[in-house]
Amino acid sequence: MKSMPKDYLQPMRIVVHLLRKEFIQIFHNKGMLPLIFVMPFIQLVILSNAATFDVAQVPFHLQDYDRTPLSEHLVKRFTSTGYFRMTGESSRQDKGIDALISREADMVIVIPREFEKEMINSGHARIQLVINAEDGFNAGVVRGYAYEIISSFNRDIKRLLPQMSSPATVQPNIEIRSSGWYNPELVYSEYMVPGVLVVLVTIIGLFLSAMNVVREKEIGTIDQINVTPIKRWQFITGKLFPFLVIGLGELTVGLLIARVAFHVPMLGSYALIYFVATIYLLVVLGMGLLISTTTDTQQQAMFIAWFFTVIFILLSGLFTPIESMPHWAQNLTQLNPIRHFVDIIRRIMLKGSVIEEILVPLGILSVQSAVMLTLAIVRYRKISA
């Protein structure tokens, strides 16, 4: 060994060599490039447009045993909104059930005989709605719409039936008016795009990092690395940084698409989003490298990465509200990094939150990134078996 003055930049230079090699490998891989740079955005556009909770044109089957002007008017209320359309009509109960079973209809409206007469005489009448609740969420939305239509019908009943006596049953005039803050028109894409973007960044980051070290194990090049004097932190940094850059790049293109194609508002600061995204990606990449260093084949790594991705996405509040989960699941979501980043990115974009307002989820992400990185470095061993 030649004696030289100690070069303090030397350790960093080794990291730079590792980085250069990783980037060359990524850009040499013609099969991977489209996966990294095209696929996510196709998903973003498709998912953000398709994943809506809006229910339109619900098919219903009508059984009108009354056949009076009033019953006809009620049916018209349903069909004129655009939320419902009639796909069949009959006067036998089993026909309605058949329509539900054959999926010709998702709802059966049953208006009993003497509907109008009873309304006139007593001010009360009943109708029956049978809703297909195979998809509970959907059924809830359908019921909500139907309820709205019937209450508005109730409010107008005096005008429709001037001959109606019975002043005792004047409708209590309570009306529910809601207004959605921060997304006043309840545009689903504004709500979905930031969430889907988080999922895409997560998948790319987690899978690229989870496949990386284990791939070197499969090829055998890891042994060659392990007989060099490279330090663990250098190795992990060299593996982490390229994916951090790719992850932030994906985020950038995604934010651009959100702005240009979906007109998602951006009330907060981009700098804050990138700051949080960096911490978030460290959690995801640390986890990916941990998976990579603890598995022996890419196949194993893939399955483990999928296992966590599916749980994280389903428990993220993106597709089902966290508030409607059982208590234990709600607690579990606190450990879910996707949940916190979705939460933060929505708050920054739609509400213009500043850093003081996101300290709690940001704190959780920071702790998680520290834990993941430590585990990844500790678990990576330069000795085999």
Partner 1 sequence: MPEPVIHTEKLSKRFGSFTAVDEISFSVSAGEIFGFLGANGAGKTTAMKMLTGLLAPTSGQATVAGFDVYRQSEEIKRNIGYMSQRFSLYDDLTPRENIRFFGGIYGLGKAEITAKCDQMLESLELVKVRDSRLSSLPLGWKQKLAFSVALLHEPKLVFLDEPTGGVDPVTRRRFWDLIYKAASDGITVFVTTHYMDEAEYCDRVSIMVDGKIAALDTPEALKGSFGTATMNDLFIKLARPAIRSGE
| Residue 5 makes contact with partner 1 by CB under 8 A | no
Contacting partner 1 within 285-314 (CB under 8 A): none
The whole-angstrom separation of Cα 265 and Cα 270 is: 12
What CA–CA distance (Å, rounded) separates 30 from 191? 34
The reply to whether 32 sits near partner 1 by the rule CB under 8 A is no
Report the alpha-carbon distance of residue 223 to residue 246 in Å, rounded: 27
Is residue 14 part of the contact set for partner 1 (CB under 8 A)? yes
**Residue of the chain from 122, 165, 224, 334 that contacts partner 1 (CB under 8 A):** 224
Minimum distance from CB of 382 to partner 1 (Å)?
8
Q: Nearer to partner 1 by C-beta: 11 or 321?
A: 11
DSSP element (H, E) containing 61: strand 58-64
- Stretch in the footprint of partner 1 (CB under 8 A) among 51-59, 149-157, 175-183, 224-232: 224-232
Q: Is 25 in the site for partner 1 (CB under 8 A)?
A: yes
* Residue 127 sits in the site that holds partner 1 (CB under 8 A): no
Regarding 6 and contact with partner 1 (CB under 8 A), the answer is: no
Which residues does 62 contact at the CB level (< 8 Å), separation at least 6? 75, 86, 88, 89, 90, 108, 109, 111
103 binds partner 1 (CB under 8 A): no
Nearer to partner 1, 184 or 220 (CB): 220
Diameter of the chain measured on Cα atoms: 109
- Candidates 320-328, 344-352, 363-371, 376-384 — which segment interacts with partner 1 by CB under 8 A? 376-384
Q: Whose CA is closest to 372, among 289, 276, 278?
A: 289
Size of the site for partner 1 (CB under 8 A): 27
CB of 302 to partner 1, least distance (A): 20
Closest to 355 measured CA to CA, from 283, 279, 284, 281: 279
The half-sphere exposure of 172 on its side-chain side, counting CA atoms within 13 A, is 2
* Nearer of residues 134 and 223 to partner 1, judged by Cβ: 223
13 belongs to the binding site for partner 1 (CB under 8 A): yes
x/- site string to partner 1, residues 52 to 91, per CB under 8 A? ----------------------------------------
Q: From the CB of residue 362, how many other CB atoms can be counted at a distance below 10 Å?
A: 19
Residue 179 within binding range of partner 1, rule CB under 8 A = no
Q: Closer CB to partner 1, residue 33 or residue 186?
A: 33
Could you report how far apart the first and last alpha carbons of the chain are, in Å? 31
Using the contact rule CB under 8 A, the part of the chain among 6-14, 132-140, 252-260, 344-352 near partner 1 is 6-14
Cα dihedral across residues 246, 207, 298, 334: positive or negative: positive
Selected from 3, 5, 8, 10, the binder of partner 1 by CB under 8 A is 10
With vertex at residue 129, the alpha carbon angle to CA 123 and CA 132, rounded to the nearest 5 degrees, is 170
Nearer to partner 1, 246 or 342 (CB): 246
Q: Is position 9 an interface residue for partner 1 (rule: CB under 8 A)?
A: no
Question: Is-contact 85 58, C-beta < 8 A?
Answer: yes
Rounded (10°) angle between helices 115-122 and 69-80: 100
